Every structure is written in structure tokens, then in C-alpha cells.
Amino acid sequence: MATRALMATKALSAVDRHLALVGFMGAGKSTLGPELAEQLGRPFVSVDDLVEQGTRTSIKELFAEKGEATFRDFEEQAAAFALGRGQLAVIELGGGALQSEATRNALAESAFTLLVRATPEEAWGRVAGSGRPLARDREEFEALYKRRRPLYEEVADAEAGDVQTAVLAAAGVHIGEGSVGRLFELVPGHGPVELVVDARVEPLHGDRVRAALGDRLTAFHVVPAGEASKTISEAERLASALRLDRAGTLVALGGGSTTDLAGFIAATYLRGVPWVPVPTTRIGQVDAAIGGKTAVEMEGGKNLVGAFHWPARVITDPNLLMTLPAEEFETGLAEVVKTGLLAGEPLWELPLGEQVRRCAAFKAAVCLRDPFDTGGDRAQLNLGHTFAHALEAASEFSLPHGRAVALGLVAALRLSGLGEEARMVQKLLRPVPVKVDRDAAWAAVARDKKVAEGRPRLVLLEAPGKPRIGVELDPLEVRAALDALIQ
């Protein structure tokens, strides 16, 4: 019963919560913690360190002089202090901290809790001979491990053994082959589900997804394939067809177009219902489904009407990409190249599964650092996009996003003075200049959301891995770069 009650309150992500690391001593929390803190742009707080600072004694001495019970009291106070602070942090708790009910409650209240995994052998290998009070005898150590493990599992919202898995979990992104078959349990909550599905995806994957949702599925809605669904009139049609109440969840199966539309409706229908994207394109899996930006297009402007609405969970199954037409798969590489340029690593060279994970983890980290695009960090994701969005708008959204991004990246790299990288991207993505009206494209740049006082603000690169945001250039230079992308 106690477990069920806790299960019901599981946190879904660390977007608006502390990220707490729990696990046995020697699990690797103190290595993982600072790395995660850096990735998420949050301070790292060790509860053990707080105890040592507060008591001006080492934990070893505290144990020896005052005993374990006194140490646990200090530890409980330090955990309450760390978890009670308003500034979101990555907080490491000691191996025994969960014995305190108050600490367990504070975690449930204000943290997304990650269990850092390690086998008893690995843990012993790290702490044997360290002089830690509870790591002197191997048999006792393993017995303690066994006793504590159920408590960790009960409290944890997710498990992770490395930074990438931890970042994905903290952003609520679940990636796994075959995860589509487990939608019933992976879609958070127990309530009803309505499915929004792209018309081209529906005959390919609809049956399997509906079967996997079982009796949680109460209705499904087919929307036009691809970009044609991202309009105000489709948004209106979808909203009028929905019958969900706030206990329900909207699940979106399709590419970035479908998830942008469904997410926008989830943000606004009944003033917001939970939603879960299940991305079926490469762009969707590496980028669009993550981070909670949702929108539809309006004449003259890309994503002009939209909302931030972080998904309850993103469920990514790389197997869904198998049915993508070759051209669609290839254009999706543009967003992978964008991510690799921002990360400063050739992520496009990785095998597909690893590529999806690495790109998704990169985007997840950026979005966790700046969930509502206010801190400036998230702006880097628009590398190449001022140009891309202008070309898409000038083509009346007939130009696929990936092809537009490929062109936009070339322009951004040229303006960055990175000729070699621009040539590499041309070789990789083979972007073809488009036939659109030059003035319409330039007018779309002016309507872009990133324009300040009439001057376009661009994302450029100092070097791969070193984005510069908010760069204002001479408008004539920007227009020339845009013109070079047009036939």
C-alpha cells in the first residue's frame, strides 16, 4: 500500500524540481553529480558536505565521537535545508539518508530523484579501504546494500548510471527499442488517452499503437500528414473533436509537425492537459519532441502562435524510423548536424541509435538549463533557423523543415567565417537553393521572433561547440546570405 501511494506521486522530470541523486555509497554519485550540475547549469550540493561544513567535523569523526544517530540528525537537517531552497540544484544524498521519513517526504515534494546504479561489487571496489565508517567489512557492506536497496527503489523516479541517461531521465525522455509496445504503462498516469496521429503514420503504426494503449485509449484523431497539419484551422478541428477531461492525456504519434500541433492543443485545450509525444521522424526524435515548444504556422510567419508546454513524458522508439521514406530520413540529418555543430562533436557519424540518444540528450540538457527560453541558453538551438524559417514561410510551408535547416546552416556558417565547416555541411546535406520570392523571404526574416528593433539577431558559431547568440550584423550582409540560398 505504501508503495502504491508513493507510486502515485512519482515525479516526471526535473524541469521545475531539484534533481536528487540517491544510491549506495560507492555508486558513483559524487562523480556523476558535479558533471550533471554542469550540464544542467545548476549548483551541485552534497548533503555530506553540508553536514561537515555545519559541524566543522569530518563525517568519520562525527560517527566516531557522537555516533550514527547524531550524524543522521544532522544529515536530516542538511537534506531539509538543501531540498527546501528555491534555487534548483543537483543534490547528492548519502547512502543512508533515506532512512529518514522526513527526507523521503521532502524528496517526493520537491525533487526528481535518480537512483544511481551500481552492483555491490562495483560499490565495494570504490569504497574498500576508504575508511568510511560503514565500509570496513565486506559482508556487512553487502548486507547493508541488500537492506537499503528496496528503499532506494521505492523513492526513485528513475535510474541512471551515466550522465547522458541521467539528463534524458531528468527531462522525462524515455528512449528504447520496443517502447511503443509498452505505451500503456509508459504514458504517465492511469487515466484515459486520446491519440493524435499523422495520416501517413496511421496505416503504418496506428494499429500497433492503439493495441499497446489498450483500454486507456478512448478516441483517436487522424490529422493531415506532415506540415499540412500545423495550421490554426487544423488546431480548431482537433480541439473540437477532443472529449478528454483534465484527467486524460493527449498522445501524439507523428513527426515534428504532428507533435507541434498536438502539443499546442494540449497546452490550450481546457487551459492545458498533459501530453506525450511519440516521435516518428528523425527530426522529431532528436529535436522537435523534446523541450515543450509547441506551435502552429500562420501566413508569413513560422511558429507564430504557440505555447510552452513541457510533455509529461517523451516516448521514443528508434524502430519507428524504419518506415520513413529515404528522402524524409535524409532531410532529418540536418537537425543532427545542427546539434553536432553546437555540441562540437561529429554526432552525425554515430550509428543511428546512438545518434538519436546523443542528440536528444544534448537538446534535453539545453532545455533543462533554460526551460522557457528566457536565459539565452536555449537560443543556440536556432542555429541556421532564422534563414530556415524565412525560406519555409516564403515557400508557404511547402519546403520541408530539414531542407530549410540545411540551407540555413550553410548561411550561418558562412556568416560565422567558418568556410571549411560550411563546405563540410554542403557535402553532408547537399542543400539545393530554393525557388521562392526573395522579398517574401526577407519580409519573413523581419517577422521572425528573434528580431530586435528591425535588426535580425542571429546565432553564429565562433567554432564548433562555441555558439554566439544574439549576433547583430549589417542587414545588407544578412540579406546577401539569404539571397545566396534562393535560386
Ligand X SMILES: NC(=O)c1ccc[n+]([C@@H]2O[C@H](COP(=O)([O-])OP(=O)(O)OC[C@H]3O[C@@H](n4cnc5c(N)ncnc54)[C@H](O)[C@@H]3O)[C@@H](O)[C@H]2O)c1
258 is a contact residue toward ligand X (CB under 6 A): yes
Segment lying near ligand X (by CB under 6 A), choices 59-67, 170-178, 285-293, 309-317: 285-293
| Shortest distance in whole angstroms from residue 244 CB to ligand X | 22
378 is a contact residue toward ligand X (CB under 6 A): no
Q: How far apart are CA 294 and CA 265, in angstroms?
A: 9
Nearest to 253 by CA among 210, 292, 215: 210
| Shortest distance in whole angstroms from residue 254 CB to ligand X | 6
94 is a contact residue toward ligand X (CB under 6 A): no
According to DSSP, the β-strands at 90-92 and 44-46 are: parallel
**In 221-283, alpha helices (H):** 232-241, 256-268, 282-283
286 is a contact residue toward ligand X (CB under 6 A): no
| Shortest distance in whole angstroms from residue 292 CB to ligand X | 8
305 is a contact residue toward ligand X (CB under 6 A): no
Residue appearing with cell numbers 530523484: 113
Q: Which distant-in-sequence residues (6+ apart) come within 8 Å of 186 by Cβ?
A: 174, 179, 313, 315
Q: How far apart are CA 382 and CA 104, in angstroms?
A: 40
| Shortest distance in whole angstroms from residue 124 CB to ligand X | 44
Which one, 6 or 204, has the nearer CB to ligand X? 204
Q: Please list the residues that pair with 452 across neighbouring strands.
A: 455
Q: How far apart are CA 313 and CA 307, in angstroms?
A: 17
How many residues bind ligand X (CB under 6 A)? The answer is 28
Segment lying near ligand X (by CB under 6 A), choices 35-43, 174-182, 196-204, 439-447: 196-204
287 is a contact residue toward ligand X (CB under 6 A): yes
State whether residue 190 is helix, strand or coil. Answer: coil
Cβ 396 vs Cβ 230: under 8 Å:
no
Q: Is 329 exposed, middle or buried (0-12, 13-18, 19+ CB in 10 A)?
A: middle
Q: For residue 216, what is the DSSP state?
A: G
Q: How far apart are CA 78 and CA 62, in angstroms?
A: 15
For residue 142, the surrounding DSSP H or E stretch is helix 138-155
458 is a contact residue toward ligand X (CB under 6 A): no
Segment lying near ligand X (by CB under 6 A), choices 52-60, 175-183, 187-195, 280-288: 280-288
338 is a contact residue toward ligand X (CB under 6 A): no
Rounded to the nearest angstrom, the gap between the alpha carbon of residue 252 and the centroid of all alpha carbons in its chain is: 16
**Cα radius of gyration rounded to whole Å, the chain:** 25
Which one, 26 or 292, has the nearer CB to ligand X? 292
Nearest to 219 by CA among 198, 199, 249: 249
55 is a contact residue toward ligand X (CB under 6 A): no
Which one, 284 or 301, has the nearer CB to ligand X? 284
| Shortest distance in whole angstroms from residue 486 CB to ligand X | 20
Segment lying near ligand X (by CB under 6 A), choices 53-61, 277-285, 370-378, 422-430: 277-285
| Shortest distance in whole angstroms from residue 280 CB to ligand X | 4
384 is a contact residue toward ligand X (CB under 6 A): no
448 is a contact residue toward ligand X (CB under 6 A): no
Ranges within 310-329 binding ligand X (CB under 6 A): 320, 323-324, 328
Rounded to the nearest angstrom, the gap between the alpha carbon of residue 317 and the centroid of all alpha carbons in its chain is: 15
Q: For residue 53, what is the DSSP state?
A: H
State whether residue 127 is helix, strand or coil. Answer: helix
Which of 108, 128, 151, 204 binds ligand X (CB under 6 A)? It is 204
Ranges within 213-252 binding ligand X (CB under 6 A): 225-227, 230
255 is a contact residue toward ligand X (CB under 6 A): yes
Which of 26, 28, 172, 256 binds ligand X (CB under 6 A)? It is 256
Nearest to 340 by CA among 289, 413, 411: 413
Encoded one letter per residue, x for contact with ligand X by CB under 6 A and - for no contact, window 22-41 reads --------------------
| Shortest distance in whole angstroms from residue 222 CB to ligand X | 11
Residues that bind ligand X (CB under 6 A): 198, 200-201, 204, 225-227, 230, 254-258, 260, 280-281, 283-284, 287-288, 291, 293, 320, 323-324, 328, 401-402
